[in-house]
Amino acid sequence: MSTITSPVDNGVNVEALLGAREVLTGMPEAAQFTWRATCEWVNGTHSRSRVEGFFGLGEEQKHRTVFTYDADHPEIFASEDHGATPVELVLAGLASCLTAGVASVAQNRDIQLNSVVATLEGGMDIQGILGIDPDVRNGFSGIKVTYDIDADATPDEIRAVVAQSQKRSAVYDVITNPTNVTVEVN
Amino acid sequence: MRTTTVVLGAGHAGLAMSRCLTDRSIDHVVLERGEVANTWKTERWDSLRLLTPNWQSRLPGYAYQGDDPDGYRTMPETIAFLERYAGLISAPVQTRTTVTSVRRAHDGYEVETDRGTWRCQAVAIATGACNIPTVPAIAEMLPDRIDTLTPLEYRNPDQLADGEVLVVGAASTGAQIAEEIHRSGRSVTLAVGEHIRVPRVYRGRDIKWWMDAVGVLDESYEEVDNLVRARNVPSLQLVGSDDRRDLDLNRLTDIGVRLVGRLAGIQNTKVQFSGSLPNQCAMSDLKMNRLLDRIDEWATENSLNGDVDPPHRFEPTRVEASPPLDMDLGGIRTILWATGFRPDYSWLDVPVLDRKGRVRHDGGVVEAPGMYLLGMPFLRRRKSSLIDGAADDARYLSNHLSSFLDRAISRPGPAVRTA
């Protein structure tokens, strides 16, 4: 497909991404990123997380602004519901990561997206977190993502874009594979 | 000892290069640590047969003439075939010669072996892509009571203790060995990462026939989108058998092999699997269907539809709703690592390796002048990983090598620049 005759624009600067890949291929140290968040307890189960700085391309970087995220639990948990539950934030993170991937992969494959909607469901048996049954895990028993995509492409081409997005997704990897977590107290 | 060119390895690639050098009257020797076709003799399991049909193993000046062109060579047949070829082309093979070092010398290279040192102007590396099994680092966390083995050590199921077997990796090797071990009466779990599903036979013809005819195997390294990826694609899920059966995951599920996701970790008493199995299978099905679409288009364009069976599609890979994400180590008796291979360049003392230990080359022309690489996946074409790919690669590279020698002769001073 010729880029001259297909003004596909999903708002993703694929040239910049491909350029970055080329540059970083020869400089693995610049590809080492550290993502950060801080979280402060507010009251009850309500807390507020902030993200601003991160490290990458060999130096400290900053978002354009500070982003904050309130998390809490709903009233049926005897909480005040000041924000999404942390597990809902995880679903949002997965959805955003996959959807960013869908846009990027589609752009790279010259596929114009018209609309993309992801619907996520994470099943959970809360006997785990409540300590009722030690055989039940705390986390999701499974996550189901359903995409409704309107794009100028065949159904199989759309499926291939969604599959490739999973293959390159950081959050999908974080959720589907174990990660060592160390928690220290200062 | 002195020669013009030293070829390292007397497998199909080294022999093809030898034949091409002989055709060009370039003086050379083929150094082989064991015997001709050594890896086929010593590093393959008993039941293995080539994945390519007999007609397809074409070497320079040599093609199949038997009465079973669509059959698949057993290991003894593969060995006999390569030995016959070595004899036919009078390849100057020096067997039982282990190369301990290749380094630059002022006029080319010095190849040190356990049977003397060779000086030469050019070196062709044909030592193979599968010298060392790649085993994940977490293997070290396994308890001692679990037996582990690699495909280079595996011969047949009789080697294994009774009990459950975890086969890690579902490319050709893992799928074949999982099937065979399951048939021996042991319970088998197969950890599935990225894999390439293809049918053995499509529309009445071998999939390798289609790939050859359509031109898939001839695709050049210069035209492929992502060469790093193309060179790392797992082997096709195929087996060479008399019944020409498929070896996809549905077949393994049907006989009772349990599918789980890619091996992801070991924690406490459990081995953990990735939750990515549905996507790995979906990607593989989509990829297979793209290949079949391409085949169908080609068949139509070439008016072949009357000669072959009608187009059809295969059942998507069945994945259970919630594949297990872990498994008790206590239940596992043996783990087989079918997690790929890498070449061994421990003897190569010329700075041509990248940070991941791969030889830097442009279609087999190595950065160091007069050094060439053969017999690697997608070296110059998709078929470079096949026996059938060695002919084109050896022809091109021997031509390049010949020009290099001509230039070296016409240039005053040292033939080869030193770094």
Contact by Cβ (8 Å): B119, B1: yes
pLDDT average, residue stretch B292-321: 96
Residue predicted with more confidence, B322 or B21: B21
Reading the block at residue B339, the tokens are: 């997690």
For residue B271, the model assigns a pLDDT of: 95
Q: Do A163 and B265 touch (CB under 8 A)?
A: no
ipTM more than 0.85?
Answer: no
Q: Do A178 and B322 touch (CB under 8 A)?
A: no
For residue B292, the model assigns a pLDDT of: 98
Give the separation between CA B152 and CA B162, rounded to whole angstroms: 20
Residue B35, pLDDT > 50, answer yes
pLDDT, tens digit (0-9, with 9 covering 90-100), for B163-200 = 999 999 999 999 999 999 999 999 999 999 999 999 99
Spell out the residues 6+ positions from residue B73 whose beta carbon is closer than 8 angstroms to its own. B49, B50, B54, B57, B81, B240
Helices (H), chain A: 14-25, 86-108, 155-167, 170-176
Q: B145 burial class (0-12, 13-18, 19+ CB within 10 angstroms)? A: exposed
For residue B130, the model assigns a pLDDT of: 94
Residue B415, pLDDT > 70, answer no
The residues on A that touch B, with CB distances below 8 Å, are 28, 141-142, 156, 159-160, 163-164, 166-167, 172, 175-178
Q: A156 contacts in B (CB within 8 Å)?
A: 286, 289-290
Residues in chain A predicted with pLDDT less than 70, given as ranges, are: 1-6
Give the separation between CA B232 and CA B294, rounded to whole angstroms: 22
Determine the residue type at B170.
A
pLDDT, tens digit (0-9, with 9 covering 90-100), for B46-72 = 999 999 999 999 999 999 989 999 999
Q: A166 contacts in B (CB within 8 Å)?
A: 276, 279
Residue B392, pLDDT > 70, answer yes
Contact by Cβ (8 Å): B401, B372: yes
pLDDT confidence bin for B124, thresholds 50/70/90? very high
Torsion of CA B175, B181, B186, B190, to 10 degrees: -20
Where is average pLDDT lowest: B75-89, B248-262, B400-414? B400-414
Q: Do B283 and A160 touch (CB under 8 A)?
A: yes
Strands (E), B254-354: 258-261, 263-267, 270-273, 326-328, 332-337, 341-342
CA of residue B271 relative to chain centroid, distance: 28
Residue B413, pLDDT > 70, answer no
Q: Do A177 and B355 touch (CB under 8 A)?
A: no
Distance from CA of B200 to the nearest CA of A (A): 23
Q: Which residue of A has its CA nearest to B228?
A: A25
Nearest to A178 among B272, B276, B290 (CB): B272
Residue predicted with more confidence, A66 or B408: A66
Q: Beta partners for B159?
A: none
User: What's the number of CA atoms in the CB half-sphere (13 Å) around residue B149?
Assistant: 19
By percentage, how much of chain B surpasses pLDDT 70?
98
For residue B129, the model assigns a pLDDT of: 95
Distance from CA of B335 to the nearest CA of A (A): 20
Reading the block at residue B300, the tokens are: 């139509």
Q: Do B265 and A156 touch (CB under 8 A)?
A: no
For residue B411, the model assigns a pLDDT of: 58
Residue B390, pLDDT > 70, answer yes
Residue B83, pLDDT > 90, answer yes
Reading the block at residue B178, the tokens are: 């999982």
Report B:9-38 residues touching A (Cβ under 8 A).
none
Give the separation between CA A70 and CA A84, rounded to whole angstroms: 7
For residue B414, the model assigns a pLDDT of: 47
Q: Which of B15, B17, B385 is nearest to B211 (CA)?
A: B385
Reading the block at residue B372, the tokens are: 């060439």
For residue B418, the model assigns a pLDDT of: 39
Nearest to A167 among B261, B283, B290 (CB): B283
Give the separation between CA B372 and CA B364, rounded to whole angstroms: 6
By percentage, how much of chain B surpasses pLDDT 90?
93
